[in-house]
Amino acid sequence: MRQLLAAAAGLAVLAAAACSAPAPPRSDAVSAVPPGPATLPAPTGAHPVGTAVLYLRDTSRPDPWNLDADARELKVTLWYPTGQRDGQRAPYMTPKESELLLKGSGIASAPYDTLSKTRTNAIKDAEPAGRKLPLVVMSPGFTKPMSTLTSLAEDLASRGYVVAGIDHTYESYATTFPDGRVAECLACDSNSDPGFGARMVQGRAADVSFVLDQLPSKWDGSDRIDRSRIAMVGQSIGGSSAMSTMLEDPRVRAGIDMDGTAYARIPKSGLSRPFMFLGSAQHVSGGPAPTWDRDWRLLTGWKRWIVLTGAEHQSFTDTPLLSDALGIKPTTGVLPAARAAELTRTYVAAFLDQHLKSQRQSLLDKPSPRYPEATFCPATCTPP
């Protein structure tokens, strides 16, 4: 309900997670013409960014959502440092993916192909540069394609990381495969079933482990990856999947949950690897706070719980950066899009630099006057 209200308010343009809700009627002629295509903010690191796409097929298990598929197919988008500064910029998504995402989210304020015109910074199929780079696996929220975390992924690649973003097939409004098939959101038919969240994060953990198994043989640039330095970052249920993956796969050394309810249960023995909750105020005043409070007690290693004042659920994604292109006005009191992106990039990169590059980050030790929106939650972070 919170997500639907946010979408209605305008900032959380793509936040609606209730897949069964029909899109509102719209006219082919949009009354308010948006100002033009969105442009993602430039990466802040020293390296130009390249990107490539892999399509993987796991024949060891059937697809959990498509009963007619005897194998799990995955699309994996890679972002990485490159020495190449010129070339074709990668598309944000296809016109059909944009159409299905806007229709599924109930957004009728712009032409349905609007998001396909979003301008990215990464050079398509550029030659990877660097050696022994840490790897960051990324997982998006439910119903969202991996492209909605592109700004963060590009920034991390510019800072010297390889990023592997996973489109979890049939869990978003659209995933396109090389033969032209478009996999729509079959999981949306089950999102009210008991145990849905736990089932999804378990499946995503299996997706991640399979991708880690396959990268060495399926990507020509895999020799750039230091497989002893792997972390996972996710938003919403993708963040919960980071925790689930760490419990199942010891190769993932550290994780970040960005505003996601925790569905995986940590054993009583606890989890000793570094973990950070990065969330909105709703995680203190309600919403998923009880699950974060429960898990905070079981995190026995390095840990942080940081709340960004003014953030909403989609503030950790590209969604606010796309609202102008969609002709949707931001909500009063909500973090401006550029600031939300800056804060997300800054705290995610600091965590990864400390735990994958062994670079101590004082930013993670206490509040910073440069980022007054970031509140460090004490102890259990439960409101009075």
Q: Which of 244, 192, 262, 273 is nearest to 21 (CA)?
A: 192
Domain membership flag for residue 122? yes
Q: Dump pLDDT digits (tens) for 99-145.
A: 999 999 999 889 999 999 999 999 999 999 999 999 999 999 999 99
Cβ atoms within 10 A of the Cβ of 30, count?
16
Q: Dump pLDDT digits (tens) for 342-384.
A: 999 999 999 999 999 999 999 999 999 999 999 998 654 554 3
Domain membership flag for residue 280? yes
Domain membership flag for residue 382? no
Global pTM?
0.90
Find the angle CA(33)-CA(337)-CA(11) to the nearest 5 degrees: 60
Domain membership flag for residue 348? yes
Q: Dump pLDDT digits (tens) for 309-331.
A: 999 999 999 999 999 999 988 78
Range of the domain at 347: 2-13+39-376
Domain membership flag for residue 381? no
Domain membership flag for residue 29? no
pLDDT of residue 143: 97
**Tally of structural domains, the chain:** 1
**Average pLDDT score, the chain:** 89
**Rounded alpha-carbon distances, angstroms, from residue 220 to 37, 215, 229:** 33, 9, 19
Domain membership flag for residue 32? no
In terms of pLDDT, which residue wins out, 55 or 281?
Answer: 55
CATH of the domain at 328: 3.40.50.1820
Mean pLDDT, residues 252-262 taken together: 96
Q: Which of 275, 41, 242, 12 is nearest to 144 (CA)?
A: 12
Domain membership flag for residue 19? no
Q: How far apart are CA 15 and CA 275, in angstroms?
A: 25
